[in-house]
Structure 1
Amino acid sequence: MSFELVVRSRARAAEGVVVLDLRDPSGAALPAWAPGAHIDLVLPGDLVRQYSLCGDPADRLTWRIAVLREPAGRGGSALAHELRPGATVEVRGPRNHFPLQPAARYLFVAGGIGITPILPMIAAADAAGAEWRLLYGGRTAASMAFARELRAAHGDRVDLRPQDEHGLLDLESLLARGTPDTLVYCCGPAPLLDAVEKRCAERPPGTLHVERFTPKDAGEPLLAGSFEVELAVTGITCTVPPGRSILDVLEAAGVQVLTSCREGTCGTCETDVLAGTVDHRDSLLTPEEQAAGDTMLICVSRAACPKLVLDL
């Protein structure tokens, strides 16, 4: 779904981080969402960027996001930082590929702006009476959004570790303390996610959940040559050559597919697979979802067989 929302308020959350509260201009209720959900902002120049909802899901009138200004980025965060109260912006969503599963115990690990999807998760875990801890790292204390509020509300359950004071996060000791049934939720920069995945490799399947802002290296495709994609609904069959994505080929053939990040991190283009074997190259689906092979992100993933049949 797409909406024209108005910026109701703007506030500074930390160095380089602004919080934007978005509302419907008429005051209408917004679609429901759950912890882990994100929305797309459609910014000038048709730039589309994803931001986690970090407010209260019970507040159906307001969607809150926090945006980190990234000087070395591609311009989306700079445009978002220019939004002021009263401005309108096109918003799509919400979608949730990072949902909070019910559990008795949680360990939350956040790096930098990765704290945003974790905030409503902590509130939900606390309301459910679950045991939880948060390990939150950042470059400096001044750059860590919502850190003061988290410590004030939750005390010692929140472990704040600015890198300039404590060095890198001590993942080894923290993860070692968790019981095998503790669910681990992690969001932040790629090196942090890679380190957490490595240290959780021996944990039971389904206990680690991560959300990536940038794609991981998928290596070389399993199939070097071209392959065919048949669209079961429209009856179209296309050939996907090396170096072009399924999404690019379908768009060139006039097939309309909803898309956003085009790098395998947001899930907008997720498509059901009716037949064939997928070479999963995304940074979103869990290992279990990839192994099932019944869905794929067509912006980056490819075929590991001569032909795929998609539900399009």
Structure 2
Amino acid sequence: MRPDRPTTEDQVRSTPEEADLKLVVDRREVLADDVVRLRLADPEGAPLPEWSPGAHIDLRFTEDLVRQYSLCGDPDDKHSWQVAILREPASRGGSEFAHDRLTEGTRISVRGPRNHFELSAAEEYLFIAGGIGITPIVPMIKEAARTGAPWQLLYGGRTRSSMAFRDELAAHGDGVRIRPQDETGLLDLAAFLGEPRPGVAIYCCGPEPLLQAVEAQAEAWPPGTLHVERFTPKDLGEPARAESFEVELDQSGRVLTVPPEKSILEVLGEAGLDVPSSCQEGTCGTCETVVLAGEPDHRDSLLTPEEQASNETMMVCVSRAKCARLLLDL
């Protein structure tokens, strides 16, 4: 996602252009307690855009209700996409809509795929998942197995019956450790990760307490070893700069002022620029924008510390500026 930057095209993660699609739910099944899997397909049977493990899509339930879900099927299946959705009564409405209103035959607007959690090449993989965080990990495991790289999975959940894909994963044998909390307690991350060693890639997805625990455990590992995907944004406190700042648009030379109470994305929209966005909380990566000069105040929950330090790109929905002016490739 964050490149050496000879050209603008090289500066942004190389993913296929996102597509806006009208798909149909052609199969629906219950995977676990409060978890439903939906298979989406083109109504006319047309092939869908390619995707790779770690990718997610936007489901537009209504004009104002858009949510992101990881693809959990087989990338070699060119005619369907699969998502698994946990019913979250305390959520903002997306999961309730999916469970209550997306039945077989329902048509829905979909955008994607988009991948900011890509599976990098490694000599060995350690996968850690909590609850519905297993969804992006499932195709990663299949890919690791296909390449012949050694891998292990540590998978935790509240109860065994709440853990989606448990039977499918258990078929892999000793490489999978399924640990329901009511049976075994919290995940033993220290034992699973062991001593730091080169050539390993650690991938983790799940609730925030798990991610924080894994990040703490992985601090001694080589930089770039750990890859995480968050469901919700991190709490970053107050912005580094309390006052207004400017953004200069390189392609037009326009200079816009961003006041403290507005995001860069909002100011760009008011100025007539249609910058793609989705989550508007720094977790999906849709609004990632190339930074040509200046120092961003990175407030996203997506870029790695190394990617943020490079200041190559920023998420304009939440990130701001530490300096008086940013030069953006817009």
TM bucket normalised to smaller: over 0.9
TM-score by length of 2: 0.92
Report what 1:228 is aligned to: 246
Which of 35, 57, 62 is equivalent to 1:39? Answer: 57
Match of 1:148 in 2: 167
1:217 and 2:216 are equivalent in the alignment: no
- Is 1:176 the counterpart of 2:194? The answer is yes
For 2:253 and 2:94, the matched residues in 1 are separated by: 37
**1-structure distance, mates of 2:278, 2:68:** 8
Matches of 2:115 and 2:304, distance apart in 1: 13
Deviates more, 1:225-234 or 1:61-70: 225-234
Matches within 5 A, 1:157-306: 157-176=175-194, 179-306=197-324
CA RMSD across the alignment: 1.0
Aligned to 2:11: none
Are 2:149 and 1:130 aligned?
yes
Q: Is the Cα contact below 8 Å between 1:44 and 1:79 reproduced in 2?
A: no
Question: 2:49 is paired with a residue of what secondary structure?
Answer: coil
The C-alpha deviation readout for 1:189-212, integer Å capped at 9, x for no partner, is: 011001100110111111100000
Aligned position for 2:4: none
Per mean C-alpha deviation after superposition, the further-off stretch among 111-120 and 242-251 is 242-251
Gaps of at least 5 residues in structure 2 are 1-18
Q: What is the deviation of 1:220?
A: 1.7
Q: In the alignment, does 2:106 pair up with 1:87?
A: yes
CA deviation profile, 1:251-285 (whole Å, cap 9, x unmatched) = 12222111000000000000011111111010001
2:107 matched to 1:103?
Answer: no
Number of paired residues?
A: 311
Indicate the SS of the match to 1:58.
coil
Q: 2:94 aligns with which of 64, 67, 76?
A: 76
Per the TM alignment, residue 294 of structure 1 is displaced from its structure 2 partner at its CA by 1.3
CA distance in 2, matches of 1:154, 1:301: 41
CA distance in 1, matches of 2:196, 2:291: 37
2:238 aligned counterpart, secondary structure: coil
**Residues 196, 220 of structure 2: 8 Å contact kept:** no
Q: What residue number does 1:19 align with? A: 37
Q: 1:177 to 1:133 in 2, by over 3 A?
A: farther
Give SS of 2:253's match: coil
Deviation at 1:177, TM superposition (A): 5.0
CA contact (8 A) 1:55 1:64 kept: yes
After TM superposition, give the deviation of residue 170 of structure 1 in Å: 0.6
Q: Alpha-carbon deviations, 1:44-92, whole Å to 9, x = none?
A: 2421100000000000101000001100000011111120111110000
Alignment CA distance shift 1:125-1:156 (3 Å): same
CA distance in 1, matches of 2:175, 2:92: 36
Whole-Å separation in 1 of the counterparts to 2:310 and 2:152: 32
Aligned to 2:6: none
8 A contact 2:288–2:315 mirrored in 1 = yes
Q: Is the 8 A contact 2:248 2:325 kept in 1?
A: yes
1:202 aligned counterpart, secondary structure = coil
Deviates more, 1:29-38 or 1:239-248: 239-248
Q: Residue 234 of structure 1: CA displacement?
A: 3.2
* Alignment-mate amino acid for residue 74 of structure 1: R
Q: TM-score normalised to the size of structure 1?
A: 0.98
Return the offset for 1:20: 0.3
CA contact (8 A) 2:196 2:221 kept: no
Question: Which is worse superposed, 156-165 or 243-252?
Answer: 243-252
Query: Over residues 271-310 of structure 1, what are the superposed CA-to-partner deviations in whole Å (9 max), with x where a residue is unaligned?
Result: 0111111110100011111111010000110011000111
Q: Does the Cα contact within 8 Å between 2:300 and 2:315 map onto a contact in 1?
A: yes
The alpha-carbon deviation at position 236 of structure 1 amounts to 2.5
> Structure 1 unaligned runs (5+)?
none
Q: Which residue of 2 aligns with 1:56?
A: 74
Contact 2:119 2:140 in 1 (8 A): yes
Q: How far does residue 242 in structure 1 lie from its aligned partner after superposition?
A: 1.1
Q: 2:134 aligns with which of 112, 115, 119?
A: 115
Q: Say whether the 8 Å CA contact 1:107–1:182 is kept in structure 2.
A: yes
Moved more, 55-64 or 45-54: 45-54
